[in-house]
Amino acid sequence: MSVPNKVAHRIENTGSETLVVVETQYGDYLGEDDLERLEDAYGRTLGKVDPAND
């Protein structure tokens, strides 16, 4: 699966087996300070994501 730049996305396991996601990044910039949480079903804070605390 490839998610284009600046496209909102969500993944959900609808099956009965464990889902394992391996995320990779490519391109000139590989930081995570540009992540923003749009909606969260687990009560986490919406807005900018701090990868160190997420």
Tens digit of each residue's pLDDT (9 = 90 or more) over 1-53: 888 888 888 888 999 999 999 988 888 888 888 778 777 777 776 666 666 66
The pLDDT, as a whole number, for residue 50 is 65
E-only strand ranges, 1-54: 36-37, 47-48
Is 0.75 topped by the overall pTM?
no
Q: Do 12 and 42 meet the contact criterion of CB atoms below 8 Å apart?
A: no
The pLDDT, as a whole number, for residue 4 is 86
The pLDDT, as a whole number, for residue 8 is 85
The pLDDT, as a whole number, for residue 16 is 97
The pLDDT, as a whole number, for residue 20 is 94
